[in-house]
Structure 1
């Protein structure tokens, strides 16, 4: 069973991952607190931001919601690493027509996925979500 310190460290890791993929590169606690304070009615200090980044503290739910909205990730993923929530599409984003029509291979994969237990489906969805986040961070 994870300890509270483990959970804080895991949060810090997810926060850093989300910050890496943000349009404004954040490298210090001061930068994080400045950008956060531009988006929140409840300002934080650079010391608080530093504790988030080092895994010494985890923000309150309302602050996690602000971070998640800013960084375009689900609050559940940021807080717990849960990836079964669907990401919101970007404003004005429209799926291309070929994304709507699955290939024969994709349909077979979907059939196989549906035969898995609920728990295993969630694991697979979590892996896919993680890979998609990683792909957005580490563009070739």
Structure 2
């Protein structure tokens, strides 16, 4: 599996190409430094971004994202994490009716010790239910 720095470098190069720039250190250095008001990046520094050796700071990532017209989270994490979050949220929203939502609202209003107790009760029921489901389902 590729590490976060390598994945970031791939996304940075792809974003540069999509924005109409060659993914070369000289281009990145020039374009970045014209937009960044802090200490300028060196050619070696931006080369390390493109090679997947280092990651930019949050502030520099925001400048890159704005320049390349890409959401910063997409540049930093890619599309996959956004899809997973949206899928989970969609599953959550579609699987809960208004009565269940009321229960969750009431749960969140409880003091922490009571929420812990309720959580343990729910987890115990879920564990018992999954155990009975696995016993009753035929082995394939």
**Does the pair score TM above 0.5?**
yes
Q: Does 1:27 align with 2:23?
A: yes
**1:67-106 maps to which residues of 2 (within 5 A)?**
67-82=64-79, 84=82
1:40 aligns with 2:9: no
Which of 23, 45, 66 is residue 63 of structure 2 equivalent to?
Answer: 66
| Displacement of 1:120 | 8.6
**Are the counterparts in 1 of residues 13 and 23 from structure 2 also a CA contact under 8 Å?**
no
| TM-score (norm. length: structure 2) | 0.55
Report which of the two has the higher share of helix.
2
Instruction: For structure 2, list consecutive stretches of 5 or more residues without a partner in the other structure.
Output: 92-140
What is the DSSP-based 3-state SS (H/G/I as helix, E as strand, rest coil) of the residue aligned with 2:82? Answer: coil
- Rate the CA distance shift 1:38–1:77 in 2: closer, same or farther, 3 A: same
Separation of aligned partners in 1, 2:87 and 2:26: 42
User: Matches of 2:58 and 2:45 in 1, distance apart?
Assistant: 15
Question: Bigger radius of gyration, 1 or 2?
Answer: 2
TM-score by length of 1: 0.55
The answer as to 2:14 corresponding to 1:13 is no
Alpha carbon RMSD of aligned pairs, Å? 2.6
Q: Distance in 2 between matches of 1:11 and 1:121?
A: 27
